[in-house]
Structure formats: C-alpha cells, structure tokens
C-alpha cells in the first residue's frame, strides 16, 4: 500500500547553462528589476558579485558583500538596512548558501524577489528555508516568499570552487537526499529526485575532488545540488535537526553535515528497511551507511566532530536539545540514542 502524501514544492524558474550567469540582466528584466542589490560573501564571493553587478549595469544599485555563514542576526539586519537605504527592488545572490541565506533574510523582511546564482552544492537556492543564528541558537523559518524566483546555474562559476568547499557542500547535498529517503513527508517525486541526485553525487563528486576543472563532473554535481535542494523542501528529520542544533553552537555547516551523516544513517537505516534498500541501490552498496562513511573518508574535509572544534562536554546538552524535538521518523530518537550518534561522530 502507498502511504498518503502531500507534494508541496514551490515553483521556480531554473536556467542551467554554461555561461548562464551572463544572462543575469535578461533575467532581471524578466522580473522587472530596475534596482537590484547584489549580495555575496567577502573575498571571492565579492569578486563574483562585482561581476554580476557589472553585467546588471544600470539595473544594479550596489554590492553588499557582507554575507556570513548561518546568517547572524546583525548581518541580516545590516542587509535589510542596505536594501532599504538603496531602495532596492530585488536581490541577486552571488555564491553559496551563505549569500543565499542573506538574500532570503532580506526578502523575508522586504518581500523583494531573489535571483540566485549559486556556486556550491548545498542546494539552498531551491528551498523556502532560512536558518539564522541569534547568539548560540539557530532558528529556522519556512516562507514561500523567500524562495528565489529564478536560479541561474552556471557550471563555469564552479570550476574554481575550492576542493574542500566542493566536497563539504556536496556532502551537505548528499545529506538532503539521504534524509529525503526516510522522512515521513517523502513523496514519489522527492524519492525519485533524491535517488537520481545521489547517483550523480556518488559518481561525480569524487571526480570533482580529483580534478576541480573536470567540467562534466562539475555540471553533474550542480544538477545534483539542484535536485538535493528540491527534495529538502519536503522536510527534515534527525540528521538536519541535529546538524541544526550543532550549527547553533557555531559548528561549520557543511562539514558538520558531512561528519554526522554516516552515523545518523547507521542509526536510522536499522529501522527503515525500505529507505535502506533505496539508498543501497542509489549508492550501489550493500551497506549504505558504510558506503557514506567510505565516501567521507575519501574527501579532504574533517572526519570527526573533534576536528571542527566541537566541545565533547557538550554532547549531553546537544543530545537533550535534539531529543526535545521529538523525532520519531523513521525511528524514535531519544537522548541516549543521539548521545551515542554524537559520541561516534566525535
Ligand atoms: P558558503 O556559501 O558558506 O561558501 C563556503 C565558502 O566558499 C565561502 O568562504 C565562500 O566565499 C566560498 N565560495 C563560494 N563559492 C565560491 C567560488 N565559486 N569560488 C571560490 N570560493 C567560493 O557554503 P554553503 O555550504 O553553500 O553554505 C552554507 C550556508 O548555507 C549555511 O549558513 C547553511 O545554513 C546554509 N544552507 C541553507 C539551506 C537552506 O535550504 N536554507 C540549505 C543548505 C545550506
């Protein structure tokens, strides 16, 4: 019997092409934007932001290259203030989840439309989800008004994405797909997309890590990232909720996802035979949790929580916080269970 489901993924215009970022002006015109504010992270993000502002020409009112991971409250407020001061009528985000997060934070307060030009594999551009930090707490909001109206996927922009960022954000995308296979809200569409994205990531992320200039692998990972973002819209469970609590403590986002994924998978898959089978097929592996662990070991990123500055003394606190979220699908996750997952990941 097929379990009842609701498929509720917001619509978006998606342009995927080599050189697609060159169409940003055209896409701004399509949305009627005359005063777009470009947001980015500092450094390489700012350089891409400046290029997009140039391409926008008179349709751009400025570049705000002050995005920070996890969108701290003061960073969000400064972004909203900049958009208001410049009388922006739209936002163009240049870069990965940090830039997109800031664009969403501005859109949430102002209702401005977003054009996202993503350069990582974390998939935020496809979701109505915004995570922000306020001190040591991370809060998540879901609002269809903040979904970027248009995504411009330009694989050329990813050729220089550092290998470690590629690997970590790729594992973040993989985590969206793995969790999509066991959440209660899964639908035939999200299961199919997650499976397809996992196949692409499993084959092509190692190639990206071996050679960042491997164009075919870059294209495939970018498509996988899009699909991973789409399936994240359906919902989350233990994996993302635990990563979220850890994110509130300042843990690096993508790396934390990568580290805990095999351990959460081992715990959950023991009670989710159908999801296990689907994941085994997608990864061509009889033990999918072990396959995820092997994948992580092959990547040049931190392997354990202790390597990203996590304080072992906080395992109990994090386990209690996560257990309060009462996660029951696909398996009830109590304090002791989560403590064991964290201890293994540490
Ligand atoms: P990121 O945007 O933080 O980028 C990581 C680093 O890579 C930054 O230093 C950035 O400047 C650099 N970089 C990005 N693109 C580059 C390029 N092409 N060349 C050189 N350097 C480049 O990475 P991320 O993992 O995509 O984003 C993490 C953030 O996204 C977190 O805040 C997380 O909460 C959020 N996120 C949100 C969702 C959602 O649906 N709301 C989903 C996933 C991640």
Tell whether 244 and 147 lie within a shared domain: no
**Ligand 1 closest atom vs CA 247:** 34
pLDDT tens digits, residue range 167-177? 999 999 999 99
User: Is residue 111 in a domain?
Assistant: yes
What is the distance in A from the centroid of ligand 1 to the CA of 98? 5
User: Is residue 265 in a domain?
Assistant: yes
Tell whether 196 and 309 lie within a shared domain: yes
Sign of CA pseudo-dihedral 49, 138, 169, 240: negative
Residue 113: pLDDT over 90: yes
User: Is residue 5 in a domain?
Assistant: no
298-321: average pLDDT: 97
Tell whether 149 and 96 lie within a shared domain: yes
Domain span holding position 84: 13-158
Decide: residue 301, CB within 10 A, 0-12 exposed, 13-18 middle, 19+ buried: buried
Tell whether 39 and 64 lie within a shared domain: yes
Percent of the chain past pLDDT 70, that is, above it, reads 100
pLDDT at 308: 97
For residue 56, the surrounding DSSP H or E stretch is helix 44-56
Q: Across the chain, what does the average pLDDT equal?
A: 97
Decide: residue 156, CB within 10 A, 0-12 exposed, 13-18 middle, 19+ buried: middle
Residue 59: pLDDT over 90: yes
pLDDT at 25: 98
Q: Write the Ramachandran bin of 88: left for phi over 0, alpha for psi from -120 to 50, otherwise beta.
A: beta
pLDDT at 2: 84
Tell whether 101 and 177 lie within a shared domain: no
Question: Structurally, how many domains does the chain consist of?
Answer: 2
pLDDT tens digits, residue range 221-254? 999 999 999 999 999 999 999 999 998 888 999 9
Tell whether 203 and 325 lie within a shared domain: yes
CB 323 within 8 A of CB 334: yes
Tell whether 152 and 179 lie within a shared domain: no
For residue 93, the surrounding DSSP H or E stretch is strand 90-94
Q: Which of the listed residues 106, 131, 158 is the one where a domain comes to its end?
A: 158
CB 36 within 8 A of CB 89: yes
Tell whether 189 and 312 lie within a shared domain: yes
CB 218 within 8 A of CB 187: no
pLDDT at 135: 82
**Ligand 1 closest atom vs CA 98:** 2
Residue 136: pLDDT over 90: no
- Helix axes 188-210 and 273-283, enclosed angle (nearest 10): 40
Tell whether 121 and 180 lie within a shared domain: no
Ligand 1 neighbour 43 (Cβ under 6 A) = yes
pLDDT at 116: 98
Tell whether 134 and 190 lie within a shared domain: no
Residue 301: pLDDT over 90: yes
CATH number at residue 252: 1.20.1090.10
Q: Which of the listed residues 158, 177, 208 is the one where a domain comes to its end?
A: 158
Ligand 1 neighbour 123 (Cβ under 6 A) = yes
pLDDT at 324: 96
User: Is residue 4 in a domain?
Assistant: no
321-325: average pLDDT: 96
What is the distance in A from the centroid of ligand 1 to the CA of 337? 30
Tell whether 38 and 185 lie within a shared domain: no
Tell whether 127 and 75 lie within a shared domain: yes
- Which two three-digit tokens encode residue 190? 């999200």
Confidence of residue 342 (pLDDT cuts 50, 70, 90): very high
pLDDT at 3: 85
187-202: average pLDDT: 98
Residue 120: pLDDT over 90: yes
Ligand 1 neighbour 254 (Cβ under 6 A) = yes
44-63: average pLDDT: 97
CATH number at residue 87: 3.40.50.1970
Ligand 1 neighbour 166 (Cβ under 6 A) = no
Q: How far apart are CA 119 and CA 140, in angstroms?
A: 22
Q: Which of the listed residues 112, 136, 158 is the one where a domain comes to its end?
A: 158
User: 17 or 8, which is more confident?
Assistant: 17
pLDDT tens digits, residue range 140-165? 999 999 999 999 999 999 999 999 99
């Amino acid at each position: 019997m097929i379990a009842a489901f609701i498929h509720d993924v917001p619509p978006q215009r998606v342009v995927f092409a080599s050189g697609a970022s060159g169409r940003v002006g055209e896409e701004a015109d399509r949305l009627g934007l005359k005063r777009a504010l470009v947001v980015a992270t500092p450094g390489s993000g700012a350089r891409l932001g400046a290029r997009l502002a140039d391409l926008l020409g008179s349709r751009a009112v400025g570049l705000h290259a002050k995005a920070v991971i996890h969108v701290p409250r003061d960073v969000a407020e400064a972004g909203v203030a900049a958009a208001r001061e410049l009388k922006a009528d739209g936002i163009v985000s240049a870069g990965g989840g940090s830039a997109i997060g800031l664009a969403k934070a501005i859109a949430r307060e102002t209702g401005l439309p977003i054009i996202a030009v993503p350069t990582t594999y974390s998939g935020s551009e496809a979701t109505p989800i915004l995570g922000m930090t306020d001190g040591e707490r991370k809060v998540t909001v879901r609002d269809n008004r903040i979904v970027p109206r248009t995504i411009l996927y330009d694989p050329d922009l990813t050729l220089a994405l550092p290998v470690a960022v590629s690997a970590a954000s790729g594992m973040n995308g993989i985590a969206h797909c793995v969790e999509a296979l066991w959440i209660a809200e899964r639908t035939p569409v999200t299961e199919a997309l997650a499976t397809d994205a996992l196949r692409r990531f499993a084959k092509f992320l190692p190639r990206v890590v071996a050679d960042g200039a491997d164009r075919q692998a870059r294209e495939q990972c970018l498509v996988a990232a899009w699909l991973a973002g789409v399936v994240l819209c359906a919902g989350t469970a233990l994996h993302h909720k635990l990563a979220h609590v850890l994110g509130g403590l300042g843990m690096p986002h993508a790396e934390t996802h990568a580290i805990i994924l095999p351990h959460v998978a081992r715990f959950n898959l023991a009670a989710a035979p159908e999801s296990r089978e689907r994941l085994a097929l997608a990864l061509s592996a009889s033990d999918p949790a072990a396959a995820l662990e092997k994948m992580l070991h092959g990547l040049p990123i931190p392997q354990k929580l202790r390597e990203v500055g996590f304080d072992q003394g906080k395992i109990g606190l994090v386990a209690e916080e996560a257990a309060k979220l009462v996660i029951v699908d696909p398996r009830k996750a109590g304090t002791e269970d989560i403590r064991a997952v964290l201890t293994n990941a540490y």
